[in-house]
Structure formats: structure tokens, C-alpha cells
Structure 1
Amino acid sequence: MGNLFLAKSDFNHVTIYQHTVEMLKLFEELKSAFPDILTQKEWEVLRLAIIHHDIGKINATFQNKIYVRLKENISLPDTFDGVFEIPHGYLSTCMIDYERIQKEYGFLPEEILLLAMSIYYHHYRKVNYDDNQLKKTLEENVRPYISEFKREFRIGLISDEPDFEHANTKVNLEYLVKNKNLYNTYVKIKGLLNRIDYSASAGITEIEKSPFDSYNESVDQKVLKKYTANGNSLADVQWYLYKNRDKNIILIASTGIGKTEGALLWIGPQKGFYTLPLRVTINAIYKRIKGSSEKNSLNYSPVAILHSDSFNEYLKENDSYESSIYMESEARLFTAPLTITTVDQLFRFVFRYHGYEMIPATLMYSKVVIDEIQMYSPTIIACILYGLREISRLGGKFLIMTATMPKIFIKILEEKLNMKVSEAFELPQPFLRESNRSDKSKHFVKLHEHELDIEQIEKDSLNHKILVIVNTVTKAQEIYQRLNVENKWLLHSLFTREHRSVLENKILNFSKDENAKGVWVTTQIVEASLDIDFDILHTEMCTVDSLFQRMGRILRGRDRFLSEHTPNIHIYTENVSGLGHVINKEIYEFSLKALRKFLGPSGQQILTEEDKQNIIQNVYDPDLNPQILESKYYREILDYIGYLQSIQNRPYQLEKYETKFRDIISDLIIPKSIYIELDNTGILQQMEEQFQRADSIKKRQILDEILKHTIQVSHFYDRELLSNINNVLLKEAGKRAFADAGIKICDCPYDFNEKEEKGLGLLRKISREEKNKMQTMNSIL
């Protein structure tokens, strides 16, 4: 019966013993890399948890299930004949010889509790079973194989007489939660157990990669080398972050003065996570850190990227599905010394869903950067602020950095989360780009109390690079259609992944071309994502934090080129789109009031960095704007923090998919016209036939090809489209590959000319009244 007891149903026939040995190797690597994150006793509890966590898999039901999947001609006598299975974690806790462990290791009752609880919940399953079912499983599906398993396993302290009644006395979640210090230790041990377990199962051989690259340099050394070459010195903000890398910091600094490199200096050779709001920004920062070809690249190789589409970024690097899957697994299991990621990959842990512990157990010895915190919705801001408090309590460090830090966030940290300035974090004076109104300035603002001026945009586009930013896709499509110029392009979120990638590359190339002329109409997706540099901005009014981000796309790397009498930032206040859903109406009103006050009767003014900070504080500082404390925006953050506080004593009430981190529900859709084209050309049928007989890697490849033709449609922002989405999954039409990706058909027009690389994207179906209104408007124009 050698190698009878398998750990999982892969074709390598990995036994429980082999899997455990691989985990112990990773355990030793982690302990060697970060010896101080646990006490010696806690390390021992973790080691014993690793040894015993899977011993419950020796039961006949579990093993027979694996044999069937592997098509093995083996079958063990099964009391329940495969129709009922108690999760192996529960069985494992009944099979440990606790008395012997307590005697040999001198464990206190609390340490025995930590051991049993970590194992019991390491793969929690909502399975209802009674004592009779558990007793029968232990007696008839487990006990007959214990002696044989112990000979094969060799390393565990396993009881010859598994006893659920005795084991139940070792499992007490309520007691654990009430004892906060003990619970924090449990989170560390169980989280590291899960991470080591998942890493071994994924075939990962390094649980913590070295922070040094092939040149034996860490990321901070790369930055120092870059900035101090040729006798140069660090910028003030970079020097401050470098000197204060042992502290939590909230940093306010102008765009374009080296915050990104400063954050890398703050992280240093320690484990770090750098979060940004948008995937496009993350991709750009990742390439900038890892790459070597561009002027500003650091050539630092041990960096990972992690977001919902990071697999495709890895695929672009090496063109191998096997390697890309492995690299993505490494990223999701936090092996890299530096990971560039989205906040939802980290801060979802505040919901204490099943399996959440792996994240805080890693962040407890990491440094976390939050870039542009003001760009998130109130609920996400609540999760971030609450999560930073928890990370700090566990021993991790955080850096919030932004050009526009709302002062109410400081108030919430201090008053609601008991984190005081100078005690819990540093709040230095803002680092602003030196400028005054007598110098050349990048931004000369003019406020227009009317709609977007199409004629002026057309005129400006003849000699300059013009950026138009509006608040909604529908408005962007409308403005684009009204423009009567040849050199015009449109970019928003309702293009397919493939076409959006084409447009993003095109706008980047357009921006870099010194001789380019024309106009790009976009939505807020370019606010803090693409590293673009235009001459003139025409924008709808929005909240000031977004407004200043939009301004950051103008003269980004250059001094002012226009006459001081000619504004290059045009803001329009009439018929503004998106108020109330895309744009927070209360913050919008506060912003417009503050901007009008600053610009005065003339409605125009050169804007310095200090001016921007003053305007921001006139919106978000409760001392200057007491109304902010009565706003729905502020109350929503507080209410959600209250909700998070209320669930802390009730862990495991939610599954991961139930956590409401992103307050936007969305559908993954394919425009009907594209679906029909793929179907008519036989591509769909070919995909389906390949999918049915493909292995997991090939299936991933097919799904990736399908996803190129899809669009993520938000329920919140794009209500008009919902009535046109076919809610019947495509598997009912025999399209299993589409169904596995959760794709639905959207019966709305889609426009994109691949030859010209431009188009309108996905359009909502308009009513007859709207169509008549548009025709009337066009005839007038």
C-alpha cells in the first residue's frame, strides 16, 4: 500500500508526506528570512500545524475521490460511499496526540488552542454534520488506515485512537476572538500556514525571494544609484522618505517631484507593497521599475505585478502560458520583495472572510504604500483606513502619499481609529514644487460658466495637443461626434480589452510625438493612469481632487509654453455630466464654490502648487468647510468603518466572494456584433472544440483569447446598458468557454475601425425622443 495516501488530485501523485515535507522546506526558508516575526514558541506551533494539517486526508472518502479523478484502479471501503464527506481539517484535529505534544513541547493550553484552531479552520467548509457522522467517519473511514499511514508519514504525532469529543475541547473560536492578543497570534500562525500550504501546492520553491537583484542591489539602492549619479542629489521629498523609513507617514507632495522613487526609498530592502488605483497605472509603474530600456527605468528584476489582469502582463513578458501562470501564482502568494498591486488585493482582509489571515500575516512584516488615496469611493477609503490601523497594530508600516490629501481622512484616523499624529504616524509639511505667479507656470486656469466650447477645441487642435476630459462615457461619445476635425480620437472604459489596449498605446505615442496635433476626448480613466503630456485641457467641472489630477496631464514634463495671457486649462460648469453617480454631488458643489472664490470676478488665474493645496483644504478641511462633516460623503465613510468594527468579533461570517470591497457590481459582456462575427467565421466553434479537450493551461489560453473581446460594464455607472444584457449564460447555448468566464451578450451597437484605430466603442440604445433631439441639434450645428 505504498504511496496510498495522496494529498491532491494532480498527476504527480503527491502524497501527504511529500506535500508536508515541501511545506517544511518553505517553513525553514521563511523562518530564516524573517526570524523575528514570531516567537520561538509560535514558530513551533506553526511547524506542528504544518505537520498535522492534512492528516485528515487519510479517510477513505477523500482518497477514493482522488483515485477516481486520477483514474486509478483503487477503491477503499467507504462508509458513506462518497456521498458525504467531512472536511479533512476537522478530521485532522481529532487525530492529533495532544497529550504527547503538550508533554514533549511544554505547550500551554493557549498554544494547544492555537494549534488546533489553525488546523481546524485552515480550509474551512460550511458542512453540517452531527457527532454520529463524525464518529462513524473516524471509526470506519479513518481508523483502519492509521497504522499504515503512520509508517508512511513518519513525522507526525498522531493518536492511535482519534477522538472527536476530546478534540472538540481544543476548538473554541469564541474564546479566541475575545482574547485579542491571542487572536492576533492565531491570525499570524494560521495565515502563514495557509500561505505555506498554497505555495507548496502551487509548486513554488521560494516563499520569500531575495530583495536583491542579479547585481546584488535592492530597489532603494537602484534609486540611489540613479539619482546620485553624476553628482546629483535626492529631492527633498525623497531624502525625507529615505531618512524616515522606520515610520508610518502621510505625505502630501506635488506631482512630478519624485514621489514614486521616494516611496521605493522608504520601502528599502524590506518587503513592500505599492498600491495604485488603476491597472493601467500599475502596469506603467511595474514596467518602469522592472525595465531597463527607458530613460527612467530602474532595471530592478525581483518585482511582481498583481491585479485582476496581471496574468496578461506576465504573458507579454515571456510568451509562455506555463511561465505566466507560475509567475502569477508567485505574485498572488506574495513571494516577491516588491509587489505593485491594487488595494482590493490587500485590504479585503478587513472583512475577516474565510481564509483572510494570509494577507495580514504577510503585511505584519511588510511596508505598504497607498498612492492617491483620494481617488477611491467612500467605502473603499473606509476599508483602507481601517486596514492601515490593523496593519500598524500587527507591526507593519504604511505610507500614504498624494498631491491632494483630504484633511477629513486625518480626522477619521485620529478620532475614529485612535491613531494620533506623531504617535501613530508622521504628517510632515507638504512638499510642493517651487512656483509663484511671477515665474513661468504650467497651469493658467479659466472657468467658463457655459458648456464645453466645441469651436474653441477645434481651433486649438489645429496647432496643439488637446485633451478633453468629461465625466461620463455617453458625454465623451457625444463630444467626439460633434467635433469636426480629422485628427480626433476617443478613449473610455467601454472599448473591448483589445481595442482599449490599442488606444492606450496610441495616446501614449501621440503624447510623446513633439509634432503631433489633434484632440483626444477621454473620461476620468486618464486622470492618474496614463503618463501623458498634452498642451491644453478642456474639461467638465468635477471634484477638485479629480480636477487637479486632470491638470497633471498638461505640460507634465515641460515649462509653460503659452503666453501668460492665454489660459491652457479650460473648465466648464454648465450641463456637467455624471453628477450624483460618477461625480459626488456634494463634493462637487464644495469644489465649485472653492474654485470660484479663488479665481475671483475674472474667473481666471495662474495656479501654483500652494494654491492647489489651499483650494483642497477649502473643500475637505472641516475648520474651513464645516459642511463637509454633514455631507453624505463623510457619513458614508464613518458608517462603513462602523460596519467593519461591528464584524471584527464575528470572523468567518462571510465568504471571500461575499465581501463588498468594491461597491460597484459589474458584468463581463461581449457586444452582440462581435459575438456574431466570431460565430459566423467559425472561430467560436473552434474555440469550443479546443476548450472541451484542453488541459488547464490550454483552457487558460483559450479564455484569454476570448477575454480580448469583452468589456467590463458597471451596474452603477452604466444602468442604461443593463436592459440590453442577455442574462442567460452562454453555456445554455452550448458556449461553455464563454460561460466559464462569466461572459454575457450585450445587444448594443459597438463601433471601432481597426484599420484607423478609432471609434465610439459600446453605445447604449437611445430612445426615439433622444434620437430626434440629437438630429435637431445636429441640424442646428
Structure 2
Amino acid sequence: MIKDLYDYLAKPDKTIGEHVEDLIFRANILRKLGYIKDIHIYNLLIQACKGHDLGKANKEFLKRILNPKLHFDETKEISHNILSVYYLDKNEFDENTDDYLIVACCILFHHDYCNEPLVIKTRTSQINSLLIPEYNQKPSRRMLKNICNNYLKKRETIIVKGLLHRCDYSASGNYEIEYPNDFLEAGLAQMMNEWQKKKKDSCWNELQEFCIENREENIIALAPTGMGKTEAGLLWIGNHKGFFILPIRTAINAIYDRIKNQILKDEKLKERLGLLHSESLSYYGSHVGQEMDILDYRNRGQALSLPLNISTLDQLFDFVFKYKGYEMKLATLAYSKIVIDEIQMYDAEMLAYLIYGLRRIHELGGKIAIVTATLPPFIKKLLRDKNIGNIEFKERDFTDDLKRHSVKVIDESICEDDIIQCYNQNIKEGKGNKILVVCNTIKKAQKMYDQIKEKDETLNSHVLHSRFDREDRKNLENKIKEFGKTYNERNEIDIQNGIWIATSIVEVSLDIDFDYLFTELTDLNGLFQRMGRCNRKGVKQLDGYNCFVYCDGSDIKQGQKGFLDSVFYEQSKKALKTVDGILEESQKTKLINDYFTYDDIRSSDYMRQFKDTFDWISELDIGNFEKDEIKMRNIFTKSIVPKIVYDQNKDEIVLLEERQTLISKKLKDSNIEQKERENLFRERIEIQERLRDFIVQIPYYEYHKYYKKVYQTYGTVNISKYEHIDIMNCQYDIKGFYPLNYENIGEDAMMF
């Protein structure tokens, strides 16, 4: 009797048939949760699940799977995804050749082991020698050519192939493909009940009701700081799979904490809420209970299994580079709801990736909500343009009656004397005296700190930017959040004396409420974001100006130098000429609408870069990039450990490195028990995360200058087998990293 194909082994402990059943079980979960609504797509997916591993029914694969010491030998073996196509029966597709070709294409490319079309073209005899003749369906050359060349870009192929990847990886890794979102609406309702116990007339506001009423629509909702945009976005997602995307990690962490603590109450966290950014593992380590397996928790998030996810753009939208297997993320996002916050903060390149990605998601059925404080008209145009975003939105603007800001525009450079005078005057009058100073570059922020200290070293002043090591930055962020709270323990307006000098990292990343803002002018959108850190809740008395904007123009672009697009800067400056005194939220929206139309900025460097990037990413072919080589942001930084930081922590660093070496040796022992192996693996990750606490990201040109002028070898901090971080002699103190005192050349490219 001929052995059935499904009776052959797919894995050492499972037959092909058993593995197929695992995949179909997961496909049915997606169907049950409502994530596969189209019965045609579902049927194609089931066919792909049934046929994806049939090619493992060959003698060479069987030898290898029964002998772990054997490795794939391309002189004897053909990748099973190729052989599987030859077993796919066309008769099971009711003479629908298109469906057959879609499924065959999904099966052929569900692994990235080789150049599949080339193998099919050049190794026909070897393929035939491995096939079981009784099951060989002998697809024609024309069909094979179609499968290889013409079907990867079809809508149905993208969805089915992406879902096949999800099912296959979940079955092979033995993890849940999706956890249900059956909690979010109830959690939000419970939170409202708690608010109503404190204040009886609490209810969802107009913004939040708009999001509830339009859950099935793509929406743009514009609302000022303090109107509950996070809750609005969550109410729009409802009991559905959702992704909340923001540009800055600290903002993402803050939203994660709010959902975790106020809505989920830490219940079933591992099945409900995920954090997706490059340092999520470290954040979990200090923000979830000790009983939780944070590695497993992180892996669930990365596998896209959790129903609610807070993420940076680069963690999800790398699919726009169309690396092999990109369909898995795109197909997942296509049955999800995507909330985009602070879209105006993205630079031209990132905005191009975002809008192209949103277009692809929209085309495949995903829903999109843009819930943000400001949105320039030119971005709305790009989102709706038939040749760019091609997405229709239901749009509404919201405002409130709070008067938060009284603005004084000063056509000069920002000055420490003005800040100190304000500080001392407030002390005399016993007024709220939390002063936030925002500079456009790190170098300027450090200089401003020095100037204030030189004038009066007794002032309570601090500086915050991105060139601190991770541990110091975390501590500084905790300090500024505590200092910048609106109310004290007695629920009274919190009054303290202090000056915090920062860069634009404070624009959206921190929930802080200062009394006064002194800032250099950035573009109008960024300026309004900065103003959102001052009188944030609108409960502080407005007595005179509380926002001082300096616009001497020293930071605008001149050729390739500078940081602010000259067109954006000049439009912002024109808008501010109309402002003196109280600036209501409706006026802010009007200024942006009046001065940032598409026609206003079409000639800017920003728009040129956007168009170049969008055109390039649109025309990119599948497989031009390997997934591991994709970086959504250009690499302009270098990781270093300052020598002074190394010297102060040398004993701990050396012990951690030695322990990691010992763990690596133990893990090579094949006789080690699985439980101990898992514990050692987790300990190694914890060690690596602790070693990364000492790293500072600096501009690459700064490292190049150091290497060229004063380079000395101080060794490396060995994070892992492949990650070795140079120890660099530099200045590092309360102001963070700054270079040794050698000739100052180059640009201060790292603004944040």
C-alpha cells in the first residue's frame, strides 16, 4: 500500500497531517475571532495549510529529521516548499486556475531557503527524483512560471500568504496565534464608573463619543492636549485587535502604564497588552511583577499574538520594505485597527513610510484612526491624495474653552537672563515656579544649563536630552515627571521652584505640567506640542505671559546645514507675527490651517524628501532587502560607553561579562536540562539588558572626530557575542555626554 503523504513526518514528533491540523486549528481561531471575514480567503488559507509541507514527504528529508546530526545538503535535497507545489492538486480548486495559482504561490514562497524560481528552472531532474510519483501533479512550465513571477503581488496572495505564515509559525512554535480582545470596552466602562464615584457628572466627552460612534470608519480627530485622546483611541478600537502607534518610546511607555494600571488593573496582562519597541524587554523587567516570564511575554508581543499593542513605527511598518515574508505583518495589520498619534512629529522620510504603509493596510481592509493634537493641511492632502495615501476619512475637529497659553514672541536668541529674572520674580511673589526651557539642539541645551549655573549656581536646574546613558535618562525622566505633576498629594496645585532645560524629547514623551515655557521656535506644530507641557490641564491662573518664543532663525537650514526646514520655519514665523497674548486652542488650529497648506510648503526640502522616499518605497521589489538589514531610520549614531561611566561601574561590568561567558559555556552542554537551559537563557538576557544601561548614543561624526584626533583604545564592553561597545574617553556628567575639548567641527546632528 502506498503511504499517504500526511503520514510522513513533518517534525521529529509530528506527522505532516498532525502539523496541518495544528495550522487549521489556528486558522479557525482567526475565523472565529472575526479576523477572516471573507469565506473565499478562508478557503484559500485552508488549502494552503493543507499543502504547505507536503514536500517533506521525501527520503532525504526523512533521513535528516531522524538524525539531528545531519544538515541540509543542497546537492542531495530540494527545499520542501518547492516540492510541495508539485503535490498540489489542481482538481481541488473547481477548475479555478487563479485560486490554484494563488495557493501554489503562497506554498512556494512560505520559506526563504533559496532562489526558488532558479531551482525550479535548473534542477528539474533532482526534483523529480525526490517526488513520490503517485502523488506528483506535474504542473506545467507555464503554470510554474506564473506561480514564480506573476502572483506574489496579488491582493489575495498577500493576505493568504501572510496568514499562512502566522498559522505556521504559531503551530511550529506552539504558541497562541491570537488572544481575544474581550476586555477593553468593559475595562474602559469600569474606569468611567470609578471616575463617576469621584465626580458624579463624569462622562465621555464629544471627542470620545465621536470615536465610539465611528468604530467602523477611518477617522481623523483633532483635539488639544488634555481632552483624553488616548481614551478616545482606545474607545475607537473597542473589542477588536488594535495597535496604538506613537513616535517616541517614553510616550509609548506612559500609555502602556496607563492601560495596564487604570484599565486592565494588571489582570491577564500577558494575554492582553503588548509593548513593541527596541527596549521593551528592559521596560518589562522593571514594570511588571516578578512572577511574570518577561521573555515569553515579549515573544508574544513580537509574534503579534496580543490583542492590544502600543508600538513605535519601526516595529510594525518595516513591511513597507517588502522583505521576503513581509506579508505576515501586513496581513495582520489588515485585520486590525490602527491608531496614529502625533503624526506631525515624523520627519519627511518616516512620514513617507507611514503613509505608504497606511495605504497598503487600507487597501487590504484595515481601519485607521488619526487622533492627534495638530495635523497640518498638507498631511491631510497627502493622506487623501489618490496617488499617495488614497484613504477617505471621516473628520472632525474638537476644542475646549480652556485658556492655557499667553504667548510673547521675541525676535532674538533665547536668553538665560530672561529665565532667571522670571524665576526670581516668581519666588518673590510666591507663584508657581516650574520653568521649562526647550532648545532645538543638545549643544544649546547644555550651553543654556552652563549659562544659568554661571549666573546663579544655587538655582534648582536640570538638563534632559537623549545623550545620557539609559539608567541616567530613566532617572531624569522620573524626576521631571514627579516635578512636573499638576497636583500634590492634597489635590492642590503643586507649587515648586525649578528649571528644567530640555530638547524636543519632552514634546510628546512626558506627562508634565509646567508654569512657564521658554523655547526656541521650531515649526508651528512642534511649538504647539511644546506648549502642551505648560499649563497642560488649563487649571493654572493666567497672569501675564506664560510662553516665551524666541525666533532669531539661527537653526534654519542653509544648504545641508542646520536642522529646521527654512520654509517651515518662515511659515511658522509669519504665523506668530499675528500672536501676542492669549492663544486659544481654536486659534492654534487656524494658524496651522492658514500657514501649512500644501501650496505653502510644496517647495520645501521636506516635501522633496517625502516625494523621493515615497516614490522609491512604492517601486521597491519584493526581496530587495533582507529583514535583518532594514533600519527605518538612517544610521547617524554610534553606541559608546563613556570611560568615566565604565570606570565608575567597572567591577559590576566585569562580573557581568564573566558571568555571561560562563553561561554561554554552560549552554553549549547538550546534556543540560531544559528548565536550567531556559533559566540560563533568561539570565543572559537580563545581563545584556543591564550592560546596555551604560550605553550612550552619540552622533557618528562625533565618534569619527574622536577617532581621528585623540583616539585611544580603552577596550570594549561585551554585550553579547556579536555586540561589542567601544569605551570612549569623553566628558560625561550631570549634562550628559559632550566631547573632549578639541576643535569643534561638524553639525550637532542629534537634536533630541
Tell whether the 8 Å contact from 2:566 to 2:604 is kept in structure 1 after alignment.
no
Q: Give the SS at the match of 1:122.
A: coil
* 1:705 to 1:62, Cα distance in 2 relative to 1, 3 A: farther
- Partners of 1:219 and 1:268 within 8 A in 2: no
- Provide the C-alpha distance between the structure 1 equivalents of 2:419 and 2:341, rounded to a whole number of angstroms: 32
What CA deviation, in whole Å up to 9, does each residue of 1:730-775 have, x standing for no partner? xx979764453x34315242424xxxxxx121112342579xxxxx
Alignment: residue pair count: 697
1:614 is matched with 590
Tell me the amino acid that sits aligned with residue 606 of structure 1.
I
Give CA deviations for 1:443-475 in whole Å, capped at 9, x if unaligned: 111122322221332344453111111111111
How far apart are the structure 2 equivalents of 1:511 and 1:616? 28
For 1:634-655, what per-residue CA distance to the aligned partner results, in whole angstroms no more than 9, with x for missing partners?
22222322223323xx323322
Matches within 5 A, 1:241-640: 241-292=211-262, 301=269, 302-318=272-288, 323-417=293-387, 424-428=392-396, 430-435=397-402, 441-461=403-423, 463=427, 464-484=433-453, 485-486=457-458, 487-512=460-485, 514-563=494-543, 566-574=544-552, 576-577=554-555, 580-596=561-577, 598-599=578-579, 604-622=580-598, 626-640=599-613
2:689 aligned counterpart, secondary structure: helix
Decide whether the 8 Å contact of 2:731 with 2:737 is kept in 1. Answer: yes
1:641 corresponds to 2:609: no
1:29 aligns with 2:29: yes
Amino acid at match of 2:384: E
Structure 1 residue matching 2:225: 3-state secondary structure: coil
1:175 equivalent to 2:150? Answer yes
Structure 1 distance, partners of 2:140, 2:189, is 57
Residues 734 and 235 of structure 1: CA distance in aligned 2, closer, same or farther (over 3 Å): closer
Structure 1 734/312 Cα, relative in aligned 2: closer, same or farther at 3 Å? Answer: closer
Decide whether aligned partners of structure 1 residues 379 and 126 sit closer, same or farther in structure 2, where only a CA change above 3 A counts. farther
SS at match of 1:291: helix
Please state if 1:210 is matched with 2:202: no
When the two structures are superposed, what TM-score results if normalisation uses the length of structure 1?
0.81
SS at match of 2:151: helix
Amino acid at match of 2:633: R
Find the aligned partners of 2:60 and 2:715 in 1 and give their Cα distance: 35
Unaligned runs of 5+ in 2: 428-432, 489-493, 668-676, 709-713, 746-752
* TM-fit CA distance, 1:618: 3.3
Separation in 1, partners of 2:266, 2:370: 22
CA separation of 1:127/1:387 partners in 2, compared to 1, >3 Å: closer, same or farther? closer
> Hey, what does 1:749 align to over in structure 2?
730
Cα distance change of structure 1 residues 132 and 393 upon mapping to structure 2, 3 Å threshold:
closer
Counterpart code for 1:315: G
Which residue does the alignment assign to 2:702? 720
Summarize the Cα distance change of 1:551–1:736 in structure 2 as closer, same or farther, 3 Å threshold: closer
- Shift in CA distance, 253/299, structure 1 to aligned 2, threshold 3 Å: farther
The gaps in structure 1 that reach 5 residues or longer are: 147-157, 436-440, 727-731, 753-758, 771-781
Partner amino acid for 1:202? Answer: G
Would you say the 8 A contact 2:466–2:505 is kept in 1?
yes
1:697 aligned onto 2:682: yes
Q: Does the 8 Å CA contact 2:102/2:147 hold for their aligned counterparts?
A: no
Shift, 1:368, TM fit: 0.9
1:238-294 alpha-carbon deviations (Å, 9 max, x no partner): 112211222111222111112221111211112211111111111111111121499
Q: Choose 570-579 or 188-197, whichever is displaced more.
A: 570-579
Letter in 2 for 1:407: P
Counterpart CA distance in 1 for 2:7 and 2:736 is 57
Q: CA deviation at 1:351?
A: 2.6
The one-letter amino acid paired with 1:553 is R
- 3-state DSSP class of the match of 1:483? helix
Q: 1:761 aligns with which of 712, 736, 748?
A: 736
Are residues 379 and 132 of structure 1, via their aligned partners in 2, closer, same or farther at CA, if it must alter by over 3 Å? closer
Show the counterpart of 2:750: none
User: C-alpha deviations, 1:51-89, integer Å up to 9, x for none?
Assistant: 332344456766677677xxx5x659x8x4x77864432
1:579-604, CA deviations, whole angstroms, 9 ceiling, x for partnerless residues? 555433321122122212x13xxxx3
Conservation of the 8 A alpha-carbon contact between 1:138 and 1:162 = no
- CA distance in 2 between partners of 1:221 and 1:159 (Å): 61
Aligned partners of 1:351 and 1:644 also within 8 Å: yes
The 1-side partners of 2:646 and 2:76 are apart by: 42
Q: Which residue number in structure 2 is paired with residue 90 of structure 1? A: 82
Distance 1:646 1:330, change over 3 A: same
RMSD between aligned alpha carbons? 3.5
SS of aligned partner of 1:592: helix
**CA offsets, 1:126-158, max 9 Å, x none?**
448656974465466x45xx6xxxxxxxxxxx9
Tell me how far 1:503 sits from its aligned partner: 1.0
Q: Which amino acid aligns with 1:27?
A: A
Write the deviation string for residues 596-621 of structure 1: whole angstroms up to 9, x where unpaired: 2x13xxxx322111221122123312
